[in-house]
Structure 1
Amino acid sequence: MPSFDIISEVDTVELKNAVDNSNRELDTRFDFRNVEATFSLDKEIVKMSAEAEFQLLQMRDILRGNLAKRGVDARAMETKNIVHTGKTYSQEAMFKQGIDTPVAKQIVKMLKDSKIKVQASIQGDKVRVTGKKRDDLQAAMALVRGSEELDKPFQFENFRD
């Protein structure tokens, strides 16, 4: 029976490259000259620090632009609150790996409600979808890709015929 897995992962190598490119862009930008502003990456957490709050917002836009250039979906990024310590402001952006259980349940419910002849099951941090016809699986992929309520990047892997 044909099947595939729905996953949500961020390529950590491309994330590291995007952070490095963002640091290089900070060095060349005129509005960040003589300003202490940096991006640092620790596992899947990017820490941005700058001297002013509006600079953090600009840095977030720089990071999003570089993520897009490297092919990393910015919807996987979850930003925390801005923290003010002494003379610097900092903010952390976490990149989520895997599908949370509530989101996985929402995907399964959405596929059942769509009346597409597929079965979906939650397996850890991914969702396995099986069906009798390849066309049904492709319709399920299109449904998950087009859903606006999930607002998370999904990849489809392990397609078996």
Structure 2
Amino acid sequence: MAKDSSFDVVSEVNFQEMDNAVNQAMKEIEQRYDFKGSKAQITLEKDSVKLNAEDDYKIKALLDILIGKMIKRGISPKALNPGKIENAFNGTLKQNVEIQNGLSKEKAKEITAYIKELKLKVQAQIMDDKVRVSGAKKDDLQLAIQSLKSKDFGIDLQFANLR
């Protein structure tokens, strides 16, 4: 009898590409006329991006520039979870933007429930920050992948380790 095939549903961000996107965004900010003499800054931390600027317009422009650079580097904007714009020191504003890396328990449960609703002959199980989908037929697995791609879960999904 044939061995079960499987794939993993993950949501990962390549941090090297994210670092490159932040660096490119900072270069663009330094060259833009509307940011001349500004204290605008984007900094990448372990699992978030910090935006600092003088006003709301510049904070939103920083986020737009960053998202544009991320798209060019192959990172989905769905990986970002912007927080509230808050007051910082010296009359500047700051915004903390979380980088979603890995599936949360709620999203993993939502994905497994959706796979069960498809009524395909596949099984989905949650494994830490990913969901493993296994089944006897590769055609069923490919149908599951296509169905997951067509539904919007609000996060960027990748499919890895297809065996």
TM-score range, shorter chain: over 0.9
Alignment of 1:133-144 (within 5 A): 133-144=137-148
Shift of 1:44: 2.1
Distance 1:31 1:2 in 2: 54
Counterpart AA for 1:157: A
Runs of 4+ deviating beyond 6 Å: none
Distance 1:103 1:26 in 2: 35
Q: Provide the TM-score with structure 1 as the length reference.
A: 0.96
**1:60-108 per-position Cα deviation (integer Å, ceiling 9, x unaligned):** 1000000001001110100111111231111011101111111111111
Instruction: Check conservation: 1:4, 1:128, Cα contact below 8 A.
Output: yes
**Residue 70 of structure 2 is aligned to residue 67 of structure 1:** yes
Q: Can you give the 5+ residue segments of structure 2 that lack an aligned partner in the other structure?
A: none
**Residue 13 of structure 2 is aligned to residue 10 of structure 1:** yes
Of 44, 68, 79, the match for 1:41? 44
Alignment of 1:95-106 (within 5 A): 95-106=99-110
Instruction: Name the % identity.
Output: 37
Distance 2:63 2:26 in 1: 12
Alignment of 1:78-157 (within 5 A): 78-85=81-88, 86-148=90-152, 150-157=153-160
Counterpart AA for 1:74: P
Distance 1:42 1:153 in 2: 20
Which residue does 2:61 correspond to in 1? 58
Instruction: Check conservation: 1:12, 1:44, Cα contact below 8 A.
Output: no
Q: Provide the TM-score with structure 2 as the length reference.
A: 0.95
Shift of 1:52: 1.0
Shift of 1:45: 1.0
Q: Can you give the 5+ residue segments of structure 1 that lack an aligned partner in the other structure?
A: none
Distance 1:18 1:105 in 2: 31
Aligned pair count reads 159
Counterpart AA for 2:160: E
**Aligned-residue RMSD, C-alpha:** 0.8
**Residue 23 of structure 2 is aligned to residue 20 of structure 1:** yes
Counterpart AA for 2:35: F
Shift of 1:158: 1.1
Q: Secondary structure of 2:155's partner? A: coil
Shift of 1:38: 0.7
Q: Secondary structure of 1:159's partner? A: coil
Distance 1:44 1:105 in 2: 23
Counterpart AA for 2:76: D
